[in-house]
Structure 1
Amino acid sequence: MDPLDDPDPLTAADAAAVENLLRCWVRERGLARPDRDTLRIPLAASGTVLLVPVRYWSPTGWHRFGPPLLEHGPHDAPAVGAVTLAALLTREAAYTARQDDPDADATELVGRVADSVRRTALFLTHRRARPADPGAGTPFLNAEQSLLFGHPLHPTPKSREGLSDAESTVCSPESRGSFPLHWIAADRSVLACESAWTERGRTVPAERLALSLAGSGLQLPTGTVPLPLHPWQAREIRHRPEVAALFDAGLLHDLGPCGGDWYPTSSVRTVYRPGAPAMLKLSLGLRITNSRRENLRKELRRGVEVHRLLRSGLAEQWRTAFPGFPGFDIVRDPAWLAVDGSDGEPLTGIDVVVRHNPFGPGDDAVCVAGLLAVRPWRGQPVMRSRLAHIVARLAARTGRSTAAVGAEWFLRYLHTVVRPVLWLDGEAGIALEAHQQNTLVLLDPDGWPVGGRYRDNQGYYFRTSRHAELQRRLPGIGGRSDTFVPDEVIDERFAYYLGVNNVLGMIGAFGSQRLVEERVLLAAFRRFLTEVASGPGRTRSPLPAQLLEAPTLRCKANLLTRLRGLDELVGPVDTQSVYVTIDNPLAMSVSPSGTPAVPPMA
């Protein structure tokens, strides 16, 4: 039995956390594939060695491991659990780095691992009891609620500091939570807002948008505008002195919860309601994965700026380059509302992004992370992800092998999702932080990829080398959004987010779920990159050549980032996370005997 399918949810959650920690350690330490089926991890700081059964070794890093043991431990000693493993690895990292205070971040990391395991067990318990939800789910929402284990290369993917168990049930997509929004009224003297939202060809002011979102159930004080808050956010901000001062001065008014339920999406803080024209990206001071999820004013402006840039003619140029519906686009963030403090400076924590909702109830729009996520509940084999189900169904319907269908699915994904992202970088000098949770793939009724969407107003990178071109497209661009980034930093980040996290991560999912051999998909990816780098209609983006030619790649190190206590939303973009160097599996996939044959697309 796969450890993730253990009948005990806590055992399954602990096994998942152990695998995550080990995958992080292997990647960030550059450990090589063992000669046999056991990986030895020396722990000099503890004077012992971990013996880890290797269930599957992935060229792209999505390894599968069995329960680790300590060498020379008692014969009947239990396997090393996630919390113990976190403590051992933390101590080893501190020892090898010779930190002055080796326990400074150890307690935090170990505590967050324990929190992540406990919450994952609760989510598994809930989902195994209700594997199908007859409620208001749409294909988009179902995918947003499917990441029970989370990022496979993060040490604490489900830790949420500050959220009680009762709040977690209501506020988590994994438990299919929902809640009404909590509303406050802001005096116009402290309101900050911007809108490029259009209806019937006319721009809708942000204040009017807020009124339409609030509906008719609110009684507003004179001279105020309603602002929606997350219920956790509404409780937490009252304890901030600068916010309390505005309430005391009568510049903010608490109106309480109002309206129908909204559903948290995979980011937890962005909420969605089927049929509503907008999604709302709220501010949460919770630390989720590596960051406290509060909007920054520059990000609010960035979303509107990118929307205006695309409307300036760039979107039409993009559609012309890739004809056919539905194609690829960016989920727009064309409006926002926020509050300034009594000193006129932006007040963190009271703001909302009004995001366009382009997905109708029948649109099969799936975030890539949700598509690949394993679904471990009773009645389902553990590795039966949505992708595995699609590939198996297509293979049965067409009479082709699973491997042939999987390879074709992957090639279609490259052409319908990845190629347009490369075009945007090459043509406009805009790189997207297109990791698996920020990238959505649009599926036709049979499950084939036919388009994609990108979302996230944090994740735009304007190339400094293309500053003049972008200024011509939209004068003043980047002035207040702080979006221009040196090309060398963009090259590193873009290679990680699109190349390593998105595409190589997808290859790892195909391989670890035994759908297609990874070496076949690596060969397909190389062929695709060669075509877009040098074939007809080749891109100006440097990424294809970089991925093809570089012997190593830079890769975000989530374990080290957590150990150092970094918040990825704070500080300069080039120092927000720890990056390490890894071998490029695309370079490693080339051998004298040639690359495997890739089935052509039907």
Structure 2
Amino acid sequence: MHRLPTAEAEIGEELAVVRPGLVPRYARELPGARAAVLTRLWRALAHEPLPWIGGRERARDALVLRLSDGRVLEGPPADPYATDAYVTAVRLDGGVHDDPARLTAALAVPHGGALAAELAHSAASLALSRADRPASGGGPVPPQEWPGRDWEWEQRVVDGHPFHPNCRSRPGFSVAEQLAYGPEHRPVVELRLLPVVARECLVTGEWPRELRDGERLLMPVHPWQAEHVLKRPGEGDRLAAHPLMSLRTLALPDGPHVKTALSARLTSSVRDISVGSVAASAVLSAFAQDLAARTGGLLHLTRTLGAATAHSPDLAALWRESPQEYVRPGERVLPVAALPGTGLPGSPAWLAGFTRLALTAGLGLLELGVALEAHGQNLLVVLSPSGAPLRLVYRDLADIRVSPARLARHGIAVPALPERNLTDDPTALRRKLFGSLVAGALAGAAGSGPALGAALEAALPDLPRTADVRALREEPLPVKALTLMRLSPGRSGDIWTELPRPGATGL
């Protein structure tokens, strides 16, 4: 019998106390959750520049990895763009491993112990998320049953990041807290409104009047943050909101979204809000409106209405437009990550049309000098009542890259942005857009390398033949080495690798 790893057992024990009715479903979901995380891990082992892998080769219908210590790791051929859980077990020196955490521990690589713990938590949390799906399941929803509110779409994305092994890792969250705050569990979250002296804060844009109390600002704070980081769990009035995919951004009943600081590591990053992000938010928002006007209506960029910080990344919030502001009667707007739940990408013609729309908008902005981080969470699509992709909405500008030289060529003034947002390096610009849009949003929608490759081949001939388009057509696809980054705790910044072009023969 498969003995439960500690994380699985602990979550099962907590669940038996707070939601005993979910325990049988949680147990049934564990094998599939392990396979989903193992598939993501196998992608990394097959394609990332991990220093302890000495060689990779195809042997019959298998991929063989030769480790630097002489051991051999064997599994199925790896499609780096596949989103189904096709890896149920791999063999390490003849021993079968069906659990990603146990496999990582057995590899015994530097910093692997910490990653193994994260993977165990990711698989267990994913099983919990799947166990709490509505009785109707997670299959495609016909247009007549599509949700009418943006946050309802976001709560349908159960599995998290389609390619990161830490897709559901939420260290520091109890089972009760996951159920109370995770969007896939469909809760209503009561934000805390903590009073802060206004003159002691940095405020940009227009802070909402209803969040002012005389000389004080009422700062929206996530309840997890209030309890675990600020140690002020019982303070402040309440503001009910619906959590979105990022967990720390929530939709208010009257429309606006509020992004809160959450000093917890979700997937790879700690989700606090830097003082620099607050300082740059108004400039970025104004710049975005100028950019949107240059896309011919293909792309809207949501505005940051106001931002504030008590000069601490742990106590800050951004007040943003809802993407719902950019839809007309009968239309729907949803994150690209939610598209598989519609069934639409299963049509090659639909996927090609959507790919053409996304590349036209993204590459058009790149030519002007702006590389969006257009992954499936940041990029949303507006659908007609019949499901046709009409236009795009992009949110969260904090991590875009801007080329002063390209802007100047097009007569666009360079905004006063932080240095980290500015670069003229074409490799850095293409990595930002291609890694998020093509290897992220479009790959997640397509679900496989062949489907993505066919969509790109159908869409690319219609695009202007710029140097960026040539690079996308002819060069390997850049992508973040997500697992190597988790195994490199002493190294800051992103680590990149390259994937074979979608549809090409890979490992």
Q: TM-score, normalised by structure 2?
A: 0.82
Distance 2:234 2:185 in 1: 28
Contact 1:185-1:255 at 8 Å conserved across structures: no
Change (3 A) 1:505 1:118: closer
Contact 2:453-2:501 at 8 Å conserved across structures: no
Instruction: Give the match for residue 545 of structure 1.
Output: 470
- Which blocks of at least 5 consecutive residues in structure 1 are unaligned? 95-101, 196-204, 212-219, 245-252, 340-345, 373-385, 392-401, 535-539, 568-574, 590-602
Distance 2:30 2:185 in 1: 16
Of 367, 389, 406, which residue of structure 2 is paired with 1:449?
A: 389
Distance 1:64 1:12 in 2: 8
Please give the residue correspondences for 1:93-112 in structure 2 after superposition, counting only pairs within 5 Å.
Answer: 94=109, 102=110, 105-112=111-118
Matched, 1:367 2:343: no
Secondary structure class of the residue paired with 1:263: strand
Distance 1:158 1:457 in 2: 24
Instruction: Give the match for residue 236 of structure 2.
Output: 256
Instruction: Give the match for residue 353 of structure 1.
Output: 318
Matched, 1:432 2:438: no
Of 549, 558, 565, which residue of structure 1 is paired with 2:489?
A: 565
Instruction: Give the match for residue 394 of structure 1.
Output: none
Alpha-carbon distance, 1:303 to partner: 3.1
Instruction: Give the match for residue 277 of structure 1.
Output: 255
Deviation per residue, 1:350-384 (Å, 9 max, x gap) = 11111101316964212112223xxxxxxxxxxxx
Distance 2:106 2:424 in 1: 38
Change (3 A) 1:87 1:180: same
Of 48, 52, 72, which residue of structure 2 is paired with 1:49?
A: 72
Please give the residue correspondences for 1:110-149 in structure 2 after superposition, counting only pairs within 5 Å.
Answer: 110-127=116-133, 129=135, 131=137, 138-149=148-159
Of 188, 192, 195, which residue of structure 2 is paired with 1:182?
A: 192
Contact 1:263-1:273 at 8 Å conserved across structures: yes
Instruction: Give the match for residue 58 of structure 1.
Output: 79
Instruction: Give the match for residue 358 of structure 2.
Output: 417
Instruction: Give the match for residue 318 of structure 1.
Output: 295
Matched, 1:237 2:202: no
| Amino acid across the alignment from 2:425 | D
Of 489, 495, 499, which residue of structure 1 is paired with 2:438?
A: 499
Please give the residue correspondences for 1:509-524 in structure 2 after superposition, counting only pairs within 5 Å.
Answer: 509=447, 511=448, 517-518=450-451, 521-524=452-455
Instruction: Give the match for residue 570 of structure 1.
Output: none
Instruction: Give the match for residue 576 of structure 1.
Output: 493
Distance 1:86 1:332 in 2: 42
Deviation per residue, 1:313-359 (Å, 9 max, x gap) = 5433323xx5xxxx4211222310111xxxxxx22211111110131
Distance 2:432 2:175 in 1: 35
Contact 2:282-2:304 at 8 Å conserved across structures: yes
Change (3 A) 1:422 1:109: same
Deviation per residue, 1:77-129 (Å, 9 max, x gap) = x643121112234x3xx3xxxxxxx3xx2221111111111111111111155
Distance 2:500 2:57 in 1: 12
Deviation per residue, 1:8-35 (Å, 9 max, x gap) = 1112211211111112211215986745
Of 412, 416, 431, which residue of structure 2 is paired with 1:478?
A: 416
Please give the residue correspondences for 1:199-214 in structure 2 after superposition, counting only pairs within 5 Å.
Answer: 205-206=206-207, 208=209, 210-211=211-212
Matched, 1:228 2:220: yes
Secondary structure class of the residue paired with 1:352: strand
Contact 1:526-1:586 at 8 Å conserved across structures: no
| Amino acid across the alignment from 1:277 | G
Instruction: Give the match for residue 247 of structure 2.
Output: 268
Identity %: 24
Matched, 1:303 2:281: yes
- Which blocks of at least 5 consecutive residues in structure 2 are unaligned? 1-24
Contact 2:339-2:445 at 8 Å conserved across structures: no
| Amino acid across the alignment from 1:580 | T
Distance 1:85 1:286 in 2: 26
Distance 1:48 1:314 in 2: 52
Distance 2:35 2:195 in 1: 46
Instruction: Give the match for residue 302 of structure 2.
Output: 331
Q: TM-score, normalised by structure 1?
A: 0.70
| Amino acid across the alignment from 1:15 | A
Distance 2:418 2:80 in 1: 42
Distance 1:169 1:62 in 2: 25
| Amino acid across the alignment from 1:443 | L
Alpha-carbon distance, 1:43 to partner: 4.3
Distance 2:172 2:398 in 1: 23
Contact 1:282-1:352 at 8 Å conserved across structures: yes
Instruction: Give the match for residue 271 of structure 2.
Output: 293
Distance 2:68 2:217 in 1: 60
| Amino acid across the alignment from 2:333 | A
| Amino acid across the alignment from 1:415 | R
Contact 1:51-1:68 at 8 Å conserved across structures: no
Contact 1:10-1:121 at 8 Å conserved across structures: yes
Alpha-carbon distance, 1:146 to partner: 2.5
The CA RMSD over aligned residues, in Å, is: 3.3
Change (3 A) 1:435 1:464: same
Change (3 A) 1:70 1:522: closer
Instruction: Give the match for residue 84 of structure 1.
Output: 102
Alpha-carbon distance, 1:580 to partner: 1.6
Instruction: Give the match for residue 20 of structure 1.
Output: 40
Instruction: Give the match for residue 398 of structure 1.
Output: none
Distance 2:419 2:278 in 1: 8
